[in-house]
Structure 1
Amino acid sequence: MLLRRPAVLLSALFLVLAGLGGALVAQMESGERGILPIDSSGTLEITGIKVDVGGKDADTARYAGWRMAQREGFKALWAQTTKRPISQAPNLTDSVLDGLVSSIVVENEQIGPNRYIATLGVLFDRARSAELLGVAGEIRRSAPMLLIPVMISGGTPTSVELRNPWQRAWAQFRTSQSPIDYVRVSGLGVDPLLVNAAQTRRPGRGWWRNVLDLYGAANILVAEVRVDRLYPGGPAKAQFVGRFGPDGTILGSFELVARNSNDLPRMMSEGVRKMDELFVQAHSAGLVRGDPDLIIQPPPPEEVELVEEAGPAVALVPATVVQVLVIEKGDANAVAQSVAQIRGLAGVVWVTQAALPNGNANLSVNFRGDATSLGSALSSRGWAVTNRGGVLYVTRGAAPGVAPAPSPAQP
C-alpha cells in the first residue's frame, strides 16, 4: 500500500495538469479570434514602395527612406488615379508632401548602422490631395455589402472562426478607395456563429434576412481563396473566387503565386486588390446590388382616418332655467299659442307650464343663455317683454311701433 501511494499521487497530479493544459489551450484558441478592420475613411493609400538608402546613422537613413517613399508614393498614386504614365507626375516639394501625407505604413524593413532597406506604404489625406490627384472628395458607393472572407487550406474552410492571412488582408484593406460599401466583420462576439465558412453555403433567405438586418447590409459578398502548398513553408499557389448573394453566384476568379511563407501576406494583399476590382466591375455591370427580399421592411404606418369638419367648432352656451309669465287676459287659446311660440325659439331646450288662477301661464324655460338673452329673443319676435328681477313678463303683441311676428303653426 505504501508503494502505491506515490503512483496514485502522480496520476492525480497528471490529471490536474492535463485539465489546466486544456483550459490554457481553450484560452489560447479563444484569444486567436478577432481582427478589427482599420478605419480607412478619408485616406488614399499606395503600397509596395521599395526604398534602399544610406545615411550617416540609422535614424538619418530611415528618415531619408521615408522622404523618398513620400515622393515615389505620390507619383505612383497620381499615375494610378489619372491612368497616365508615372513620368508625367508632378514633382512636389517635401514641405507640400508633409501636408498631404497622413501616415507611413511599414510593410517590411531592415535597419543597418548606416543603411535602410524597406517596403513601405503611404497614406494620403483625401481632402487635401484630392485636387492634386484629380479625384472627387466623395465617390458613389454601392449598397452595403456584408463581406465574408473564406480561406481553404489543407481542405479545411475557415472564415472568421480563427485568424488567418486572408482575413487579416481584408481587415487592412482601405475600403474608402472602393465604390463597394463593405461591411466587414471582426470575428469577435457572435461573428463566428453567424458568419462562418459553413454558413456561406446556406441558401436560406430567411436566415440571411435576419443576419443582414443585424449587420445593416443589403446583400452578401463572399471572397474565397484556396491555398495549395508544395510543402510546409515552401511555394504556394492560390485560387481566388468571388461569389455574390445567398445563392453563391460566381462573379469571376484568378490565380496568384507566393514564393514562400514570408511572401504569403504580399500575395493576400494583392488578392484583396484584385478581388475588389472584380467586385467593382460586377457592380458597374449591375450584378452587385441590394436585394429587397433580403431587407426587413419596417411596418407600414397606421392609417389615420381624417374627419372633415363642416365648419369651425362653436362653444355651447350653458343652459339656464328662466321663469316666464305669459299674460293673455284669460284667453286660453291665446295662452296655448304663446307657449307654442316660446317652445319654438332657438336655444330653448324644454318648457314646463303651470296654470295660474287668472288664466295666464307660468313657464319654466330651459334656455341656452340668460334671462336677458331670452328677453331679447322674445322682443325680436314681436313680444312685449318686461324683466323684473330675472322674471320675464311677456305679452303677445308688439310694443308700440313694433309689428308682431306671424305666429307659427299649432304643434
Structure 2
Amino acid sequence: MSLSLSLPRRDAPQSRPLLRQLGGVALALALLGGGYALVAQVAGDRGIAPTAASADIEVRGISVDVTADSAEEARAKGWREAQRKAWDKIKGPKISDSQLDGLVSAIVIERERLGHKRYIATLGVVFDRQRASGYLGGAQQATRSAPMLLIPVEVSGGTYTAFEQRNAWQRAWAGFNPGRSRINYVRPSGAGGDSLLVNFGQTGRHSRAWWRSTLDQYGAGDALMAFARIDHQFPGGPVNGTFTARYGPDSHLLESFTLEASGPDELPDMLARAVERMDAIFTGALESGKLRPDPTLRLGGSGEVDPAIARLIEIGRAVRERAAADAAAAAAGNLPQTNAQPVAGAETSEAAVRSIVVQFATPDAGAFDATLGAVRGTTGVRGVGVTSTAIGGTSVMSVSFAGTLEELAAALEARGLTVRRGSNALAISR
C-alpha cells in the first residue's frame, strides 16, 4: 500500500495564509535572537567600579618595621611612622604629630605581619584634602586638567581588551586613587553599555563626530589611552609588561616603558606601579602643555574651522606679527612706520562689549578662586562680577566680553575649561 501526501501549490490560495504564518514566526525568532545577541554583548560581570574615587590625597607603598613592648604598641608606632613618611613623601612642611593626626583620614593596610613585639607592614596613608591643602602648596594647589576619558587596553595573547570583559589592567586602574593627581580622570566602570561605547576599536577611530558623541556620554573633553602588553614567559614564570601612554582622538604617543614581575603573584603589584608611572607621564604632558582638549573636537564631523573663527585667528596673527616687528624696530633704534596699512578685515574700533551669564562649578573655595582667575585672564574679558556664590555647588558670574557668546566659549575652552553652551548663557567646569 502506498501513501501519498499532497501539498498545496505555491500559487494556491489556501497556501498563502500558511506562508504568512511561517513568515511571522521566522520574523519573531529573528527579533528574539537579535534581542538575545544584544543582551549578550552587555550582560554578565563586566564592570569593575573604581574602588578608590576619593578626592583625598592617598600615598601608597609605605614600608615600616618597628618594635615596641607589645603588639598593639608596635602597630600604633608603625602607623605613626607611616604617617610621617607619607607626609614627607608629598613634601609637606614640618608639623607636630598631633597636627598630622588631624590630617589623616584613613590608614590602608596593603600587607602586614604582626609579632609579639614587632610590626612589619606596607601601608597606605590617606590625607583629607580639605584639611591638608592649607599646609601643601605648589603641585597640590595647581590647576587640574579638563575631564579626560580613560581607556585602559590590555594586550594579552594577541587579544586587545578594554571593557569587553574584566581584566587585570582594568582592575589596576579601578584601584588607583586620583586624589593626588592633576589629571581629572573619567573612569568608566565597564558595566552596561560601556563595553559597546568604549572598546579597543574606539582608540583607532579618527572621526571627530564619533569621538564627540562618545565623550559627551561621559562628560569628558578629551581621551587618554593606557595600553598594557602582558607577556608570560612560561606558565608560572616571569611576566613582562610593556606600557604605552597615548592621548587624543589621533592617539598621539606620549611615552612607553617596560616593567617585569617575577611571577603571576607579583603581577598586580607590577600593574599598580605601572598605573602610578602612567599618571606621572600624563601629568608631565599636562605641565608641558601637550595635554589639552583637541580643538577639532568642537568643530563637528567635518573638521573644518568656522570661517568667522578662522578670520579672527588670521587677524590675531597679523596683529602679533606687526607688534613683533614694531618691537624689533624699536630695539634697533628705528621708529615704526606711521603710514602702515591697517590689517584687512580688522576693525579700528573695539568690538561691542556685552554681558554674558556664566555658571561655574565651585566644589571648594580654591576652585572658586581658580575659575574666577581663569575667566578674568581670558582674552576679550573686560570685567567679571559674581552674582551668586555657592561653595559646594554652582555659582554664577556676569562676564563683560568684547565679542559674541560663541567667541567667549572658544576662548574659555582654549584655557582648558569645559564649556557647555545654553541660551544666552554658558556653564563651565574643570
- Common fold, TM-score beyond 0.5? yes
User: 1:47 matched to which residue of 2?
Assistant: 60
Paired position in structure 1 for 2:90: 77
Q: Distance between the aligned counterparts of 2:105 and 2:67, measured in 1?
A: 24
Preserved CA contact (<8 Å) 1:218 1:290: yes
What is the 5 A alignment of 1:263-278? 263-278=266-281
Report whether the alignment pairs 1:143 with 2:146: yes
Q: Is the 8 A contact 1:45 1:174 kept in 2?
A: yes
Deviation at 1:214, TM superposition (A): 0.7
CA contact (8 A) 2:48 2:170 kept: no
Q: Secondary structure of 2:146's partner?
A: coil
Answer whether contact 1:203 1:247 (CA < 8 A) is retained. yes
Counterparts of 2:51 and 2:209, CA distance in 1: 28
* Residues 212 and 294 in structure 1, CA contact (< 8 A), matched pair in contact too: no
1:217, distance to aligned residue in structure 2 (A) = 0.9
State the AA in 1 paired with 2:75.
Answer: R
Provide the residue aligned with 1:186 in structure 2.
189
1:204 Cα deviation (Å)? 2.5
- Aligned pairs for 1:323-402 (under 5 A) are none
1:215 corresponds to which of 209, 218, 222 = 218
Equivalent positions of 1:36-115 (< 5 A) are 36-41=50-55, 43-55=56-68, 57-78=70-91, 90=94, 92-115=95-118
Among 173, 192, 200, which residue is 2:203 paired with?
Answer: 200
Q: 1:210 to 1:100 in 2, by over 3 A?
A: same
Kindly indicate whether the alpha-carbon contact (under 8 Å) linking 1:50 and 1:120 is maintained by their aligned counterparts in 2: yes
Find the aligned partners of 2:123 and 2:421 in 1 and give their Cα distance. Answer: 51
Q: Distance in 1 between matches of 2:236 and 2:286?
A: 37
Q: Distance in 2 between matches of 1:93 and 1:294?
A: 49
Contact 2:58–2:179 (CA under 8 A) maintained in structure 1 = no
Q: Which has the larger radius of gyration?
A: 1
Query: In the aligned structure 2, how far is the partner of 1:232 from the partner of 1:196?
Result: 28
In structure 2, how many angstroms separate the alpha carbons of the residues matched to 1:194 and 1:37?
A: 22
Give the one of 177, 180, 192 matched to 1:177: 180
Distance 2:121 2:268 in 1: 15
* Sequence identity (%): 48
Counterparts of 1:102 and 1:299 in 2: how far apart (Å)? 39
Matched letter for residue 75 of structure 1: D
Shift in Å at residue 57 of structure 1? 4.8
Distance 1:199 1:94 in 2: 49
Structure 1 residue matching 2:290: 3-state secondary structure: coil
Structure 2, unaligned runs of 5 or more: 1-39, 301-418, 425-430
Report the alpha carbon displacement of residue 49 of structure 1 after superposing the two structures with TM. 0.9
The one-letter code sitting in structure 2 at the alignment partner of 1:64 is K
TM-score (norm 2): 0.56
Picking from 291, 296, 305, the partner of 2:294 is 291
Give the count of matched residue pairs: 264
Distance 1:228 1:100 in 2: 42
User: What do you get for the CA RMSD once the two structures are aligned?
Assistant: 2.6
Residues 162, 58 of structure 1: alpha-carbon distance in 2 compared, 3 angstrom cutoff: farther
Q: Letter of the aligned partner of 1:179 in structure 2? A: R
Partner of residue 311, structure 1: none
Residues 13-24 of structure 1: pairs in structure 2 closer than 5 A: none
Instruction: Return closer, same or farther for 1:289/1:135 CA change in 2, 3 Å cut-off.
Output: closer
Matched-pair contact (CA < 8 Å) for 2:46–2:191: no
Q: Cα distance, 1:273 vs. partner?
A: 1.7
Q: Which residue of 1 aligns with 2:361?
A: none
Give the letter aligned to residue 74 of structure 1: W
Alpha-carbon distance in structure 1 between the residues aligned to 2:87 and 2:153 = 33
- What secondary structure does 1:31 align onto? coil
Question: Structure 1 unaligned runs (5+)?
Answer: 1-25, 82-88, 303-411
Tell me the secondary structure at the aligned position of residue 49 of structure 1.
Answer: strand
> For residues 140 and 244 of structure 2, what CA distance do their matches in structure 1 show?
31
Question: Using the alignment, how far apart are the partners of 1:75 and 1:141 within structure 2?
Answer: 22
CA distance in structure 1 between the aligned counterparts of 2:53 and 2:423, rounded to whole angstroms: 37
Q: Which amino acid aligns with 1:53?
A: V
Matched with 1:233 is 236
Structure 1 197/111 Cα, relative in aligned 2: closer, same or farther at 3 Å? farther
Alignment CA distance shift 1:301-1:100 (3 Å): closer
SS of match in other structure, 2:200? coil
